[in-house]
Amino acid sequence: MLEELERVRAYRDDAPEPDVATTLAARAELLEAIRDEPRTAIRDEPRTDGTSKLRKVQRRRRLALAGGLAAAGVAVAGVLGFHTATAPQSALAKQMNQLAHVAAGQAWTGIPGPGQYLYTASQSLTESDTMGNGKECSVSQVQHRQIWIATDGAGAIGETNDGSQFTSAADRAVCASAFNITDPASQNNSWSNRFPAGGLSLPTNDWKSLSTDPETLLKQVHQRDGGPNLPSEWFENISDFMRESDVPPAIRAALYQATALIPGVKLLGRQNDPTGQTGLGVAYYANGQPTHELIFDQQSGRLLAEEYFDKSGKLTDWSAYTDQKIVDAVPNYPMEQSGPSSSSGTGTAPQPGQATTSTPTNSAASKAPGVS
């Protein structure tokens, strides 16, 4: 018996350690299997029901409000573990390393100084939901969004939703019968507010506290951004740090490299976003279908767009980021005291889940800071 045990020990000593990709893939497979058990309430694939839509809005609003990043917490704190062995470089890793090299060499937009703001413009596919008496009228829209953020959380948001269309014949019928909405253009709306210090937030005000090592950085952004401890959420964490964000080139480069470490992420090659921008696409896949795609500018290393898909692979939501710069002033919008979901301001303020209201249900344009 002792001799057999010695043989087992000798075999284990000789066996090579698994590489990063193997370790992460095994861990991801286990996590996904646990998630799919009937007792588990967490889902990471985008869903087409109202619950998923509300979750998306709430997540983005959480990122918009000061303290929101910390409030959500981490579902399974501190369990993102990575092996230190060197993994063979995949096509995805090679492309992300090239993108990281480009990003690291770019001039930095910079952190807003006193009296300055990080300005980001974007367009997104959204959905306006009017709800009441157990009925829901849904109208798709294009949202034109501008956001200004100072390092102290002051700033402004302006959104205009237009191009409204009924999402289906059934929705047209419900809208007409339950709410007397027969012209989708009647649901076009706008909303704008300024925010005092502390009203908005960037992903972090201390970029120096983050590592430029991709494995370490992936753990850090998940710990700070929160959410279920699943590969799909790690991919979301990466995008949350890139949208309306003043992320410096060195950290942006490491975020690209960290993306290649996430199991389920695939390289898509050159992709066009709905506004005509072209870049390198990578996507997170679940059950053989893409659920969330990021498109990067290969010339500047900037995040151009992101897209969300349903279980069949159909595009359901998208956001395209068209401009970002440091500016010295914000528009003179009405001052908001309680956050973007308040009803004050100009036009219709979205209030998720409230009866008879317009609600953006889309992806990243409804996300605030850390977003772009």
List pLDDT tens digits, range 53-78: 222 332 333 333 333 333 322 232 33
Expressed in angstroms, the distance from the first to the final Cα of the chain is: 62
Count the domains in the chain. Answer: 1
Residues 6+ apart with CB under 8 A from 129: 50, 53, 136, 137, 138, 357, 358, 359, 361
312-364 pLDDT, tens digit per residue, is 888 989 999 999 999 999 999 999 865 444 333 444 333 322 233 334 343 44
Assess contact for 367 and 60: CB atoms under 8 A.
Answer: yes
pLDDT of residue 3: 52
pLDDT in tens, 202-249: 898 889 999 999 999 999 999 999 999 999 999 999 999 999 998 999
- What residue ranges in 35-97 does DSSP mark as E strands? none
Other Cβ atoms closer than 10 A to 333: 17
**Pair 300, 106: CB distance under 8 Å:** yes
pLDDT range class, residue 260, cuts 50, 70, 90: very high
- The alpha carbon torsion through 259, 265, 266, 267 (nearest 10 deg) reads -20
Instruction: Establish if 199 belongs to a structural domain.
Output: yes
> Is the separation of the CB atoms in 297 and 341 below 8 Å?
no
361 lies in some domain? yes
Q: Is residue 94 part of a domain?
A: no
Instruction: Tell me whether residue 296 is in a domain.
Output: no
Bridge partners (DSSP) listed for residue 243:
371
Evaluate whether residue 179 is within a structural domain.
Answer: yes
Whether 1 is covered by a domain: the verdict is: no
Confidence of residue 19 (pLDDT cuts 50, 70, 90): low
Domain that holds residue 178: 50-85+112-241+318-366
pLDDT at 130 over 80: yes
**Residue 276, in any domain of the structure:** no
In a domain, 255, yes or no: no
The pLDDT score that the predictor gives to residue 288 is 92
Structure confidence at residue 118 (pLDDT): 95
290-311: average pLDDT: 93
Confidence of residue 145 (pLDDT cuts 50, 70, 90): very high
Encode 344-363: b = buried (16+ Cβ within 10 Å), e = exposed: ebebbbbbbeeeebbbbbbb
Per-residue model confidence (pLDDT) at position 339: 45
Is 10 a residue whose pLDDT tops 50? no
